[in-house]
Structure 1
Amino acid sequence: MKIEVIKIDDLTIHEHHLDIIYSADRFKFSTKIFYHDLSFSTLIEKYNQSVIERIAAHIALFEGMKLCSLFPKYYDIAKIAKNLEKPVLDLFIQIYQGVFGQHWYENNVKDYQQPEIIYPQASLGESHPVAILENTSTILAGCGGGKDSILAMKMLEESGIPFASMQYSHSVYGKPDVQHNLIAGVLAHVNPVKSHKISIYDDFIDYSFLKLYFPENSGITVPETPVSIFESLFLMLDGGYSYLSLAHEKSANTGNLFWQELDREINHQWGKGFVAEQILDNFIRKNLLSNFKYFSILQPIYDFRIFRNFSKYPEVLPKIHSCNIKKPWCKKCPKCAYVWVGLMAFFPPDIVDAVFETNLFDDEDLFPIFREMLGLSQHTPFECIGEIDESRLMMKRCFEKGLSGQSLDMFAQEILSDTTIDWQKIEQKYNYVYEQEHAIPDWLFEQIKGLL
């Protein structure tokens, strides 16, 4: 089966949520985005109807990108075209090609660049950026419940910089109350001036549609970070926040492999990387919100240093969660294995054991995943993890701490035995603060750099 056209059929702005209806030929899907502490009627009074409709249209456009997992020929955006501008269509292609490289690779698709975006001629609108009113010094900080976001908020708090937290749940990760409660356990260790919640319900991702109708397809790809940036804009308008800070590390800039047949790098984390960050920041400021600034507060450092810095807060470790399979931890996926290594490398083992209650180094199912992490397979796992040398460095720390397990034995035999490896040089790279390679505002960087 082939899908010819994906389409935005309807977009409705309700009092507390957006309701978007999509179609893929004869199939229908729904995405609902709930804002727990936001009134759209109040927001419309504060700004105007057209500003809110324009931002909602941008959200609908990028939420629809997940349907590109079906390799459609066309993407029909006629329903929202009047609230979009030509630059966002160029941005859509940039984001699609950056995020979907992995999807092409997994499906061995070499002759598909993107869907053709269709709409009535002369129906696009124009860019009319507006200013965020009641501009405050408070930073809107994303919180996904992992080590990165809590470390970022700890840095802001210890620097005396006010921040509000933004968390969201997604139906693909389970019940929203469970997700929000897990994140609340992390937020209990900091003091945001306000806490915002977004809940997303998506039946295209939730249901068994892909498995039943497209069993040969590797899965659904979602531009999660880019679309969440657009979804945060309503909170920024409502709260008077000009600064949006996420916690993406320098490690996200490196791909999983170089695909020779397409002459391009494949990077699972592209949407989190510095290039995507700059593209999105520039676009939103030029086309939507004139005094907007988006950056990652952890962009100057690698994951290795993030784990090291996070070890200052052992009381938070039992509350964090990073697994995308079964929250808080499935203990069987690359993300769980990677976080396990990082935590074991820097925390007392008994604290980590109390959370995971098993030695992942001895799990035979994880053995091939550890090999991939260490650069002993075709590519690193398609997950949000660090570079090969970064994993090796943390594994070395685990070995030197006297930890044991099948995967550590393999590491000693195949990596540690290589006397040509310059471990000192590797550690210098990953334990360094890169003061120039980030987009953190100068005033903020001066206040937080001592904590990096």
Structure 2
Amino acid sequence: MTDTFHIDEPAFDPATGEVRLPYRLGDLRFTEVLRLPAPADPALADTASFRKLLGLTAIVLGTSYFKLKAPLTIAAPAIPLTDAERAFVIDVYENGLGEFYARNNLARFGRLTLEAPADTQGAIPRPELRHRALLPIGGGKDSLVSVDLLSHVGAEFTPFAVNPKGPIVTSVDALGVTPLYVTRTLDPEMVRLGKEPGYFNGHVPSTAINSMIAALCALLHGYDEIVLSNERSASEGNVEFDGRETNHQYSKSLGFELLLADTLANATGGALKYYSLLRPYSEARIASLFTNAGRFDHVFSSCNRNFRLNGNDGPLWCGECPKCHFVFLIFAPFMAKERLVGIFGQDLLDNPANERSFRELAGLAGQKPWECVGEILEAAACLYTLTRHADWHEDAVVRAVKADLFAQYGEEKLQRAMAECLTDSHDHHIPPALAAKVAAYAV
């Protein structure tokens, strides 16, 4: 029986930018390889901060291998951890894998044991980093709204991505700014076993994974900020499982953002900041901001079929998944119908086959999809707005759900919900000076 997941000592070659991350699961051995952009600052590579971040990165990326058997014990004998870092690791392996546990019916909350030596070195010296931001680009609307906001307030930033392809590359090309790209190569044996009987597979906390890789690059290339593009609705969960709320987007949530921000700050003597620029906004508010610029209309995509491991050579939008349906829905109240249909290639609200999906998004049927979609009440409010919109009120899905929407929520609640979607939240930790500049622009 496989009862322990081993995270062995990671290695970094500053000459090539190669990071090797070894793992063991019983008799199985795996090695993941990262190729970081070169050249890096050799002085920064030889710091306590980089060594600390390398160890934490190895642990977080280990979730992809741990989940094959999901044992109760995690061992990292070569990676010293503080008490706060231990709590962070357990959170990643419990809540970060919450959807994986729920969908495989595995009870792990409160049951995992972490074996690692105590870190007693004390405070880490602060490395010298330039005041500029590394901005992860996902190829969807959110990070491109962050691009627009940072550009207008004059903030210096560099696009960043792991294994860029499809909409990520086309979006970055449209920016005209030289990016930092990382190649991540999963161990092929792990990928193979994930499809075999007797092994588990499922969702991993990809935002946490990419954020740790971004932290390595930020330190090596002298960036003092990692700026995410996660909205406030990412904090809403999907289902209750094993006594906790399970959230598909947990590593995009505000709670995890604060935990990771503390972890990165402590690992770098307070030098590295981590926050989401879009945290004050709902998905609908972000959609309204996106409509201000048209240069990304035909290069961006939020459809997950563009980001699978084996790639996708099809259209930017499949038009069939909950993610496509949700993005179409939140754009509809703010964007001219002709423009929106031109982006997606079809009117997703006028296809009766999509009715069930829109009902799930708005809480009228089933459960919230296991996708990066916004709050249920937010989707319902957008649908309500469309029932009163000249461009959309005759569409098949809008007509089909109208009566049930009104019966379940009532017009007054839906009106309040839409107003709240367009009201910015103060629940974020964007640096105050930047928050003020962005708020003044995004009116």
**Fold-level similarity (TM above 0.5):** yes
State the secondary structure of the residue aligned to 1:317: coil
Deviations 1:175-197 (A, max 9, x none): x5x34xx32322344454x5211
Q: CA deviation at 1:30?
A: 2.9
User: Quick one: structure 1 residues 302 and 13, their matched pair in 2 at CA, closer, same or farther if it must change by over 3 Å?
Assistant: same
SS for the counterpart of 1:298 is coil
Q: Deviations over 1:372-408 (max 9, x none)?
A: 1010234201111111121122223444243355432
Q: Is the 8 A contact 1:164 1:195 kept in 2?
A: yes
Matched letter for residue 26 of structure 1: D
Q: Partner residue of 2:310?
A: none
Q: Per the alignment, in what secondary structure is the counterpart of residue 306 of structure 2?
A: coil
* TM-score for the superposition, normalised by structure 2: 0.88
- Aligned ranges 1:2-401 → 2 under 5 Å: 3-9=2-8, 11-14=10-13, 15-39=16-40, 42-43=41-42, 45-46=43-44, 48=46, 50-69=48-67, 70-78=69-77, 80-82=78-80, 84-110=81-107, 112-119=109-116, 124=119, 126-133=121-128, 135-169=129-163, 176=164, 178-179=165-166, 182-190=167-175, 192=177, 194-203=178-187, 207-214=191-198, 217=200, 219-259=201-241, 262-327=242-307, 328-363=316-351, 366-399=354-387, 400-401=389-390
1:230-289 Cα distance to aligned partner (Å, 9 max, x none)? 212232223322122111101111112344xx4422211121111111111112212334
Contact persistence 1:11–1:21 (CA under 8 A):
yes
**Counterparts of 2:254 and 2:409, CA distance in 1:** 34
- Which runs of no fewer than 5 residues in structure 1 stay unpaired? 170-175
8 Å CA contact retained: 2:237, 2:245 = yes
- SS of 1:58's partner is helix
Are the aligned partners of 1:30 and 1:204 in contact in 2 as well (CA < 8 Å)?
Answer: no
AA partner of residue 414 (structure 1)? D
Cα deviation code 1:100-140 (max 9, x no counterpart): 22222222334653532234xx565535423231x433222
Contact 1:7–1:24 under 8 Å retained in 2: yes
More off after superposition, 236-245 vs 274-283 = 236-245
Q: Is the CA contact 1:314–1:347 (under 8 Å) kept in the aligned structure 2?
A: no
Paired residues in the alignment total 428
Q: Which amino acid aligns with 1:56?
A: L
Would you say the 8 A contact 1:74–1:116 is kept in 2? Answer: yes
Using the TM superposition, name which of 153-162 and 320-329 deviates more: 320-329
- After the TM superposition, which of the residue ranges 51-60 and 400-409 deviates more from structure 2? 400-409
1:81 counterpart SS class? coil
Percent identity reads 20
SS of 1:437's partner is: coil
Aligned-pair CA distance for 1:339? 1.1
**In structure 2, distance between residues paired with 1:27 and 1:321:** 37
Q: Please, which runs of 5 or more residues in structure 2 have no aligned partner?
A: 308-315
Q: Which moved more, 1:299-308 or 1:332-341?
A: 332-341
Q: Distance in 1 between matches of 2:198 and 2:48?
A: 38
Contact 1:251 1:302 in 2 (8 A): yes
**Which residue of structure 1 lines up, in the alignment, with residue 428 of structure 2?**
438
The answer (yes or no) to whether the contact 1:150–1:187 under 8 Å persists in 2 is no
The answer to whether the 8 A contact 2:3-2:26 is kept is yes
Query: What residue number does 1:172 align with?
Result: none
2:353 & 2:194 partners in 1: Cα distance?
26
Structure 1 Cα separation of the partners of residues 187 and 354 of structure 2 = 31
User: Quick check: 2:364–2:405 contact (8 Å CA) kept in 1?
Assistant: no
TM-superposed deviation, 1:166:
1.3
User: Aligned partners of 2:58 and 2:351: how far apart in 1?
Assistant: 42
Q: Distance in 2 between matches of 1:30 and 1:406?
A: 51
**Residue type matched to 2:327 in 1?**
V
Structure-1 separation of matches of 2:126 and 2:352: 55
Distance 1:342 1:313, change over 3 A: same
Q: How much is the aligned-residue C-alpha RMSD, in angstroms? A: 2.6
Could you tell me how far apart the structure 2 residues matched to 1:57 and 1:279 are? Answer: 17
User: Does the 8 Å contact 1:132/1:292 carry over to 2?
Assistant: no
Kindly indicate whether residue 410 of structure 2 is the aligned counterpart of residue 420 of structure 1: yes
Q: After alignment, is 60-69 or 104-113 more displaced?
A: 104-113
- Structure 1, 200-209 or 15-24: larger mean CA deviation: 200-209
